[in-house]
Amino acid sequence: MEIRIENLQKSYGKKQALKNVNLNIKSGMFGLLGPNGAGKTTLMKIITTLTKKTAGNVDVCMVPVENSKKIREMTGYLPQEFSMYGNMTAYEALDYLAVLSGLSRKERKEKVPEMLEKVNLSEQRNTKVRAMSGGMKRRLGIAQAIIHDPKVIVVDEPTAGLDPEERVRFRNLLCEVASEKIVILSTHIVGDIEATCENIAVLNEGEIIFNGTVSKLLQMVKGNVYQAQVSSAEIAQLKEQFLVTGILTSGSISTVKIVSDEKPLKNAEQVQADVEDAYLYLMHNCTGKKLSGKEV
């Protein structure tokens, strides 16, 4: 069970959204990371047959994407902005979408309550979609994506706009449903990938700039991440000189995290790298820009 993407290209007029993308995605959680506009949604839409590719091959579990009916049967898709008709209850919305996924009445009677239970929406089964919070809608979204037991689940920016608690709950939910399936998680939020995915690809301006495990990504910055206390006034200058991936300010003193091939400051100490450091380092090398990480 795998998704094979070979020399995939997608153009919108003169603009090339995807440039010779090659990927093999196997069972489990797969993270697709990249900044906004990198081409993630385009890639998701090609996999879910919602956009036609310009060139290349995409096979989902041995089925070419040109066979849209078969692909749609075996995939579940949670788009970036998922919603349903506001006047439907959670149960009705899920039941409606289950019909569109080809489930019989008998199957729906069994599956709809089961899925609502799974995504912790049983108590809100009669809540109207228009009254749902962002988190509830996303959980309903994942329920509709898995109700027909697809082999592949594609979720596009599922945690954007969620509060931290909802975000963690949603990540856990994704991990639960990922067993024996391919789950592609597209996001620009590094924390989502770090918490859930073993295999990732980083997409930038339509090109895959990294494809491998999280450990392999971390390996790229191993021994190159430093932490130092500096005067807050120095930060601007530091940003000019180094790749600063984190700043924690306390009064006039700030603790900065820097990714550098050499020890950047005398008082700097080596610390353990996280995925965000590695991602920013990768993007920095790719774009040549000084990127700043989280600032607290």
Partner 1 sequence: MSLFSKECKQILKSLIFYIFIVIFVLYITTQFGGDAEDINLINKPEAGQEEYGYKITDNPEEIMDYAVNGIIYETYINSYSTYPFGFYKEIKLNENELQDMEELIYRLTGDKWDDIVSDYDNYIPPVKTEYSEFLEIMADACEIIGKGSSYEKEEMENHTTVPMTYEDAMEEYESMINKDHVTGTYARLFCDYAVILLAIIPVFFGVTRCLRDRRAKAEGVIFSKSVSSAKIIISRYMANVVMIFLPVLITALIIQIPYIYSAEAAGISADYMAFIRYSVIWLLPEIMIVTALSFAVTELTGGIWAIFIQFVWAFASMLSSSTLVGDFGLKLVVRWNTLGGADSYLRQVNDLYINRAFYVGLSVVLVAVSILIYSVKRKKGAAEHGKIRKSGN
CB of 180 to partner 1, least distance (A): 20
CB of 26 to partner 1, least distance (A): 22
Under the criterion CB under 8 A, does residue 218 sit at the interface with partner 1? no
Among 21, 33, 51, 247, binds partner 1 (CB under 8 A): 51
Under the criterion CB under 8 A, does residue 118 sit at the interface with partner 1? no
CB of 75 to partner 1, least distance (A): 7
Among 22, 96, 175, 181, binds partner 1 (CB under 8 A): 96
Under the criterion CB under 8 A, does residue 48 sit at the interface with partner 1? yes
Under the criterion CB under 8 A, does residue 253 sit at the interface with partner 1? no
SS (H, E, C) the chain: CEEEEEEEEEEECCEEEEEEEEEEEECEEEEEECCCCCCHHHHHHHHCCCCCCCEEEEEECCEECCCHHHHHHHEEEECCCCCCCCCCEHHHHHHHHHHHCCCCHHHHHHHHHHHHHHCCCHHHCCCEHHHCCHHHHHHHHHHHHHCCCCCEEEEECCCCCCCHHHHHHHHHHHHHHCCCCEEEEEECCHHHHHHHCCEEEEEECCEEEEEEEHHHHHHCCCCCEEEEEEEHHHHHHHHHHCEEEEEEEECCEEEEEEECCCCCCCCCEECCCCHHHHHHHHHHHHHCCCCCCEEC
Under the criterion CB under 8 A, does residue 138 sit at the interface with partner 1? no
Under the criterion CB under 8 A, does residue 40 sit at the interface with partner 1? yes
List residues binding partner 1 (CB under 8 A).
12-13, 15, 17, 36-42, 45, 48-52, 68-69, 72-73, 75, 77-88, 95-97, 99-102, 105, 129, 141, 144, 148
